[in-house]
């Protein structure tokens, strides 16, 4: 968890030290599944580097939960959880989709009539705001509205 906190602090520092008011985009390790658009600012604007947020932090076999960073791919998530006799209830069709991508993309790649989308299996999100504040969002805390709204924010 210490390494995770260092990554988060680096991102917060980058956000808080910004002088420009110009838009930014996210630098991620994985490829975008979006078709590039002519003159898209994301090709030339300032980047907030999230590329190293790709680790599984903890697997609790008793509670059957996994704490992971948003850049973890489903192939890595399934490989890690299977070592404990577990597997996510919802797994998208493409193994390179990240868990953050499945939440932000509303799990459109895979849904279940019984369980919904991958985002419906999530119980907590750690959100870094544009101002560099950290919000812990759950269905039952003061950030419950943000918890409900985070999926599909692509």
**CA torsion angle for 19, 21, 22, 24 (degrees, to 10)?**
70
Whole-number pLDDT of residue 81:
98
Bigger pLDDT: 90 or 108? 90
Query: Which pLDDT value is given to residue 1?
Result: 74
Cβ-contact 95, 72 below 8 angstroms: no
- Kindly list the structural domains of the chain, giving each domain's residue range(s) and its CATH number in brackets, ordered by start: 2-149 (3.30.465.10)
Q: What is the pTM of this model?
A: 0.86
pLDDT digit string, tens, across residues 111-153: 888 998 899 999 999 999 989 999 999 999 999 999 999 988 8
Q: Percent of the chain scored above 70 by pLDDT? A: 91
């Amino acid at each position: 968890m210490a390494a995770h906190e260092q990554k988060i602090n680096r991102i917060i520092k980058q956000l808080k030290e910004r002088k420009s008011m110009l838009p930014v985009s996210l630098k991620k390790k994985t490829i975008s599944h979006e078709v590039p658009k002519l003159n898209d600012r994301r090709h030339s604007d300032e980047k907030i580097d999230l590329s190293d947020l790709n680790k599984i932090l903890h697997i609790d076999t008793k509670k059957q939960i996994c704490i992971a960073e948003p850049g973890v791919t489903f192939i890595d998530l399934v490989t890690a959880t299977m070592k404990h006799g577990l597997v996510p209830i919802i797994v998208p069709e493409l193994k390179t989709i990240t868990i953050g991508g499945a939440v932000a993309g509303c799990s459109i790649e895979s849904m279940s009539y019984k369980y919904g989308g991958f985002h419906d299996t999530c119980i907590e999100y750690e959100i870094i705001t544009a101002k560099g504040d950290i919000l812990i969002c759950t269905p039952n805390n003061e950030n419950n509205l943000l918890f409900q709204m985070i999926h599909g924010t692509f």
